[in-house]
Amino acid sequence: MNDRRNFLRTAGVTALGAATVTRIGAASLPEAATQTSTTMQPPPAPSSGRPYSPVVTLNGWSLPWRMKDGVKEFHIVAEPVVRELAPGMKANLWGYNGTSPGPTIEAVEGDRVRIFVTNKLPEATSIHWHGMLLPSGMDGVSGLTQPAIAAGKTFVYEFVLTKSGTFMYHPHADEMLQMAMGMMGMFIVHPRDIRQFKVDRDFVFLLSAFDIEPGSATPKVNTMLDFNLWAWNSRVFPGIDPLIARTGDRVRIRVGNLTMTNHPMHLHGHHFEVTGTDGGWVPKSARWPEVTTDVAVGQMRAFEFVANAGDWAFHCHKSHHTMNAMGHDVPTMIGVDARGVAEKITKLVPDYMQMGASGMHEMSEMEMPVPNNTLPMMTGSGPFGGVAMGGMFSVVKVRDDVKPGDFKDPGWFKHPAGTLAREYTGELDPPVRGQEPKADATTLDARKPSGHKGH
Ligand SMILES: [Cu+2]
């Protein structure tokens, strides 16, 4: 019990008082740990059972368990939560144990798990264990394999983890609404042999998307494609944790996609290999080098690389997915002479700002007035100015002197002399252009395919 309390404290989890813990320790249901912080918890070493190397959940945490007669018991509570998407904006979401996404579940291949699910939502739910090989009756599809878990009820799932890998959990009841509200989580099954698939740093996060009108806080739940907030673990840039590593570390990043569209995940400065999908580990002979891997809807991709020193952008390569709300409906103003228009509007709206005639970068440098509880469309500042990003963007920060187990932000990279792009201040000769081709040099010899007479 003492170990467990220490574990809860070090994991930053809100533990109940000692007396309560003792009472609950003897109860038939394991206590449901809860927290509301968006601060990444340091990877918690396993409190009992087989050893494993824990994962790091971006802006998240891992769910404590208790051992009962050799079974790992977890308690998940489905409930409404308030999640800060980034400083300046909070959203009314649904999640598990105080957060969206819910806590990461970590266990070991061969473990028997018993997972209690208490429904504190105003409607029925269920949990599907995405990618897991288990008895059909534990698959969590309401109506098909079990009755839905009515509001106020608790269900229990129990199965043996037959394969290591990266899996997800999410509702299979009123799925469209519940996933649009942020209900999802990761389920990591570590290999039985701790040396297998070992890496130095193991990050995990889920892709999610929300449609929240500027000035409001609750997602529109029937949006199919036109989401305006593209999130990692229900956070958007600049609210997403950087991924910290030491030069030469072997790093794994596991990304699950429970949005309505695919996300090509792109990492600068490295060549990586996809080493796992939600179907298991990819054999070495079947891997190839990449700098971008597409994570389709309902997929997980785990990829690995050896860390190179620097500050490396890591983002979804769909440019609209690295932008927050308000950017998607901006009219194209490039090349438009809008001086006359601006004068007329200024008479009506004194604070009116004409934007975008020479591009929109200026928006990232300027504090545009936005409604309450709304994030600027492009934001974030780096050591050289505005980063002009939003949504699905973070930075992989690799340094020579990071200690094992240290995930603190080390600040900005100090570029070695001679390795930094700089302004050229010398003479600019007029550009030398190639010779114009002579008019008769490129006679186009166009023929219709033989045997075919045109009309
Ligand atoms: Cu994307």
Instruction: Give the pLDDT score at 285.
Output: 97
Structure tokens given for 316: 């979804």
Average pLDDT over residues 17-45: 72
Q: What is the pTM of this model?
A: 0.84
Average pLDDT over residues 185-202: 97
pLDDT of 396 strictly over 50: yes
Q: Which residues are bridge partners to 106 per DSSP?
A: 188
Average pLDDT over residues 154-182: 96
Question: Residue 11: pLDDT band by 50, 70, 90 thresholds?
Answer: very low
- Ligand 1 centre and the CA of 264: distance in Å? 6
**Largest alpha-carbon pair distance within the chain?**
94
- Ligand 1 centre and the CA of 274: distance in Å? 18
Instruction: Give the pLDDT score at 214.
Output: 86
Instruction: Give the pLDDT score at 255.
Output: 98
List of residues 6+ apart from 160 with CB closer than 8 A: 110, 111, 112, 113, 134
Question: Residue 26: pLDDT band by 50, 70, 90 thresholds?
Answer: low
- Ligand 1 centre and the CA of 269: distance in Å? 20
Amino acid at 128: H
Average pLDDT over residues 69-80: 97
The span from the CA of 189 to the CA of 168, in Å, is 10
Domains parsed from the chain with CATH numbers: 2-306 (2.60.40.420), 327-389 (no CATH)
Instruction: Give the pLDDT score at 327.
Output: 53
How many CB atoms sit inside 10 A of residue 50's CB?
Answer: 16
- Ligand 1 centre and the CA of 234: distance in Å? 14
The span from the CA of 41 to the CA of 9, in Å, is 11
Average pLDDT over residues 304-309: 98
Structure tokens given for 45: 């070493």
pLDDT of 106 strictly over 70: yes
Instruction: Give the pLDDT score at 3.
Output: 43
- Ligand 1 centre and the CA of 321: distance in Å? 5
Nearest alpha-carbon partner for 63 in 4, 111, 138? 4
- Ligand 1 centre and the CA of 406: distance in Å? 29
- Ligand 1 centre and the CA of 257: distance in Å? 10
pLDDT winner (highest mean) among 16-20, 177-181, 369-373, 440-444: 177-181
- Ligand 1 centre and the CA of 210: distance in Å? 12
- Ligand 1 centre and the CA of 267: distance in Å? 13
- What is the torsional sign of CA 289, 291, 292, 293? positive
- Ligand 1 centre and the CA of 237: distance in Å? 13
- Ligand 1 centre and the CA of 236: distance in Å? 12
Place of tokens 């990304």: 255
β-strands 201-210, 272-277: how paired? unpaired
- Ligand 1 centre and the CA of 126: distance in Å? 27
Q: Which residues are bridge partners to 93 per DSSP?
A: 81
Instruction: Give the pLDDT score at 429.
Output: 85
Q: Which residues are bridge partners to 116 per DSSP?
A: 75, 156
- Ligand 1 centre and the CA of 204: distance in Å? 16
- Ligand 1 centre and the CA of 81: distance in Å? 24
Instruction: Give the pLDDT score at 114.
Output: 98
pLDDT of 226 strictly over 90: no
Instruction: Give the pLDDT score at 355.
Output: 57
- Ligand 1 centre and the CA of 387: distance in Å? 18
- Ligand 1 centre and the CA of 413: distance in Å? 26
- Ligand 1 centre and the CA of 318: distance in Å? 5
- Ligand 1 centre and the CA of 266: distance in Å? 10
Average pLDDT over residues 23-36: 76
pLDDT winner (highest mean) among 4-8, 72-76, 378-382: 72-76
- Ligand 1 centre and the CA of 392: distance in Å? 7
CA angle (353 as vertex; 349, 354 as ends), nearest 5:
115
Lowest-confidence segment of 7-16, 117-126, 239-248 by average pLDDT: 7-16
Average pLDDT over residues 371-386: 85
Instruction: Give the pLDDT score at 438.
Output: 66
Q: Which residues are bridge partners to 295 per DSSP?
A: 263
Residue pair 251/201 in contact (Cβ under 8 Å)? The answer is yes
Structure tokens given for 318: 């769909």
The span from the CA of 436 to the CA of 432, in Å, is 12
Question: Residue 28: pLDDT band by 50, 70, 90 thresholds?
Answer: confident
- Ligand 1 centre and the CA of 394: distance in Å? 13
Q: Helices then strands (H, E): number in the chain?
A: 5, 24
Average pLDDT over residues 398-402: 97
- Ligand 1 centre and the CA of 391: distance in Å? 9
β-strands 250-257, 243-246: how paired? unpaired
As a whole number, the mean pLDDT across the chain is 86
- Could you tell me which residue, 51 or 372, shows the higher pLDDT? 51
The model's pLDDT over 323-378, given as tens digits with 9 standing for 90+, comes to 887 655 555 666 666 666 667 666 766 655 555 666 666 655 555 667 888 888 77
- Burial (CB < 10 A; 0-12, 13-18, 19+), residue 47, is middle
Mutual angle of helices 18-25 and 2-10, in 10-degree steps = 120
Burial 291-324 (b: 16+ CB within 10 A, else e): eebebeeebbbbbbbebebbbbbbbbebeebbbb
Instruction: Give the pLDDT score at 14.
Output: 43
Residue pair 82/37 in contact (Cβ under 8 Å)? The answer is no
- Ligand 1 centre and the CA of 207: distance in Å? 8
- Ligand 1 centre and the CA of 322: distance in Å? 8
Lowest-confidence segment of 13-27, 233-247, 252-266, 339-353 by average pLDDT: 13-27
Q: Where are the beta strands (DSSP E) in 242-351?
A: 243-246, 250-257, 263-267, 272-277, 280-281, 289-290, 292-295, 300-306, 310-316
Structure tokens given for 181: 């509200």
